[in-house]
Amino acid sequence: MTKIENTEAVIMKNILGRPCCKISVLAGNIGDSFVKLYQVAHPDYTENIHSCPHLGFSLEADARTFSLWVSSSDKAFPLYKGDSVRLKFEDNRYMQITFSVGGQQIGREKRNIALLSDFEILQLLECPLIEAEVSNYKSGTSSIYNFSTRPTSQYTGGLEGGKLIQVVVKRILGARQMLNSLPN
């Protein structure tokens, strides 16, 4: 089993008390569910990746919906209502996500959520993600994030980082299938 394959999803109750599927182990890291991409323009990008601002993605599902949680450690990109993230895939396709609600502060990060369609889930599953561009609606600024070319606690390099997102989607789909087969 490769490092990224050591990813597990569980069925648990969400904050509303409803059953949902979440990642409980990500690439061997217990309790970590956000796959991280790092800001390319940051001066430490080639030297010390862990001091760079990051953008994280985590997927959840209940019986009917898929939710993509996005986290940002960059104060310039607080993930407010109207902010957006544009995902670029290895085959040069794109997916645009615009936040329709305000984000929330969780520790040092801002987080926001977007609902994904079945088509968007399939797009995440079909081709590895290679970068994300986050845009601040109020300031008009944007920044590009990608998977580190250096090893991290989650993946050994950029290509493996993109594949980790696919593994997360597979695990959530498997857990959701089990959730939907449970008696009401």
pLDDT at 45: 57
pLDDT digits (tens, 9 = 90+) for 8-61: 999 998 878 889 999 999 999 999 899 999 988 766 556 666 678 899 999 999
Continuous H helices in 35-184 = 118-126, 158-181
> 183 — phi, psi (to 5°)?
-65, 145
Tally of CA atoms within 13 A in the half-sphere of 5 that contains its CB: 2
**pLDDT tens per residue across span 84-106:** 999 999 999 999 999 999 999 99
Dist CA 6 CA 157 (whole Å):
16
Q: Which fold has domain 8-181?
A: Immunoglobulin-like (2.60.40)
For residue 107, pLDDT over 70 is answered with yes
pLDDT value, residue 48: 61
Name the average pLDDT for the chain. 91
Over the stretch 39-54, which tens digit does the pLDDT of each residue have?
887 665 566 666 788 9
Tens of pLDDT, residues 120-156: 999 999 999 999 999 999 999 999 999 987 788 999 8
List, as one string, the DSSP characters of 76-109. T----TT-EEEEEETTS-EEEEE-SS--EEETTE
What is the domain partition of the chain in residue ranges? 8-181
Element (H, E) at 35: strand 35-39
User: Token digits for 94?
Assistant: 């794109």
